[in-house]
Amino acid sequence: MKITLIAVLISGLFLPAVASADTTFSSLTKQWTYSHALTGVTGYAAEIAAFDSATNSLWVAGVSGVDVLNASTGSLVQHIDTTAFGSINSVAIYNGIAAFAMESTTRTDAGTIKFFDTTTRTLSSGVNSVTVGSLPDMITFTKDGSKLLVANEGTPTVYDNPILDPVGSVSIINMSTRTVDATVGFAGVAQTGSYLRTNTGMDFEPEYIAVNAAGTKAYVSLQEANAMAVLDLTTNTFSSVIGLGAKDFSASGNYIDPNDRDYISGSSGPTKTILRPSSVVGLYQPDAIGAYESNGQTFIVMANEGDTREDDGDKVRASSLSGTPTDLRRLNISSTDSVPGNLVTFGARSFSIRDEAGNIVYDSGSLLDAKAIELGIYDDARSDDKGVEPEGVELMVIGDRTYAFIGLERTTKSAVGIFDVTNPTNVSFIDMIVSDGDLAPEGLKGFTMGGMHYLAVANEVSNTTSLYSLAPVPEPETYAMLLVGLGLLGFTVRRRKSL
């Protein structure tokens, strides 16, 4: 018994204070906000942010160019005008190279990837322009930086006409040669799952890409099709397109507000919105996605935004179908998927975690809407059309925990939900970042700098980028002491069993 007590006391000396879910983000503070209107560039709208550790700078892409910001102070370092190349849709950075996804001035034509040196902020030496598919919308490097993957959305200018609909695809760029190894399409790819939309009058349109830790597989959201495609990076072929099913909004825990004109009046005016069971299902239709590992398995986090064709040609009011209940008549539904008595709407008003086969292991239900209502930032005008509209996803490992940050596009103030997703079957809500002066978070970027974890949020409507400090980075010796402490605790347990 004496040995056990000594071991406990010693382990207590060596064990650091391990932050609980409630205390991990005790350092959460808005550090700065940059208004991109100050850059003075017409047509700029903050959308996607990338961090360069070599220069401690944030690169924020926004249609007409990139604003390079000092990550410590938020001051403008330089605006890079990209209009000569077309419209910029995304930026990604690896090892001092910034890749820009450029949509052609005729967007149905082939797009390009431009490579910039992050130190000189000019086109990089060597090959600095690579032709890819139509309308490159999102780009990401594999973890080792050996490949750059490009989601070529290929949005048509005229629907229901294959001749005028560019093929959706993913381009795989070999970064050692800066050449395209393959541009992969969907012809002949096996289709599984349910509620896979092939009736939208357009080809599959890749929206977002997440890559597994080994760099052997990529997962591609096909938002309008309500699907996820699995790309084998060892063969450069798609192995499957998986329909993601639909969410039952009449089930407990999934309730929504389907009506944008149902404020509850109080003595001081409208007070709140009620979430209630609704006889309708929602297509998940993820926008941003992210991949992470848990117990040796890959899981995909999805922001279930929901989206229609760009011309809204597949969207109608539920009132257009006979027999629709009064409370649902203003709800926007899919004209290609709905029939009287079986309404199908866009988006799941949640985020989900799925396994590699597309099976749901977690969904946040009505939590995001409910939290927005609780915090007074719910926009009832969006109740008929996707609610808070989850759009952005960023995953960060802080200490020994994995956190998901979920950006909500349609709240009355910029809002980002924080969830502990370390165990995908036991997810916990941590907090919601609500930011005055910011509106419509589009791109989220987590990074470390100067011993602190940070989250940058690019807000499209307010045209601002804000930076939040999240939590200190544990010192390496802290982990060493933790291992010592755990080892002693293990000895304690074994000793106790033998007594």
Confidence of residue 263 (pLDDT cuts 50, 70, 90): low
Same domain assignment for residues 373 and 486? no
Domain boundary among 382, 413, 436: 436
Are 431 and 489 in the same domain?
no
Could you tell me the residue range of the domain that residue 9 belongs to? 1-16+481-499
Q: How far is CA 262 from CA 271, 357, 379, 384, 418, in A?
A: 11, 39, 12, 11, 29
Residue 251 reports pLDDT greater than 80: yes
The β-bridge relationship of strands 332-334 and 281-283 is: unpaired
Tell me the mean pLDDT in the region 269-291. 88
Q: Tell me, yes or no, whether 429 and 297 share the same domain.
A: yes
Which helix (H) or strand (E) segment holds residue 103: the answer is strand 97-103
Mean pLDDT along residues 381-395: 97
Q: How far apart are CA 170 and CA 238, in angstroms?
A: 10
Within-domain flag for 331: yes
Is residue 291 included in any domain, yes or no?
A: yes
- Are residue 325 and residue 431 in the same domain, yes or no? yes
pLDDT value, residue 22: 53
Whether residue 488 sits in one domain with residue 399: no
271 and 357 share one domain:
yes
Across the range 81-86, mean pLDDT stands at 97
Reading phi first (left if > 0) and then psi (alpha if -120 to 50, else beta), residue 389 is in left
Rg, C-alpha atoms of the chain: 24
| Number of domains observed in the structure of the chain | 2
DSSP 29-70: EEEEEEEGGGGT-TT----EEEEETTTTEEEEE-BSEEEEEE
The verdict on 284 and 425 lying in the same domain is yes
C-alpha 438/C-alpha 440 separation (Å) is: 7
Q: Which helix (H) or strand (E) holds 492?
A: helix 476-498
Asked whether the beta carbons of 16 and 482 are under 8 A apart, the reply is yes
> What is the rounded average pLDDT for all residues in the chain?
90
Boundary (domain end) residue, out of 402, 417, 436: 436
45-68 core/surface letters (b: 16 or more CB in 10 A; e: else): bbbbbbbbeebebbbbbbbbbbbb
> For the segment 146-176, what is each residue's pLDDT rounded down to a tens digit?
999 999 999 998 999 988 899 999 999 999 9
Do 266 and 408 fall into the same domain? yes
Residues 352 and 492 in one domain: no
Distances in Å between the alpha carbon of 360 and those of 238, 357, 416, 426, 436? Answer: 21, 9, 22, 13, 34
> Are residue 279 and residue 420 in the same domain, yes or no?
yes
Question: How many other CB atoms are found less than 10 A from the CB of residue 267?
Answer: 5
Q: Are residues 307 and 418 in the same domain?
A: yes
Q: What is the pTM of this model?
A: 0.91
Element (H, E) at 24: none
Of 14-18, 253-257, 371-375, 442-446, the range with the lowest mean pLDDT is 14-18
366 and 285, same domain (yes or no): yes
What is the predicted pLDDT for the residue at 58?
98
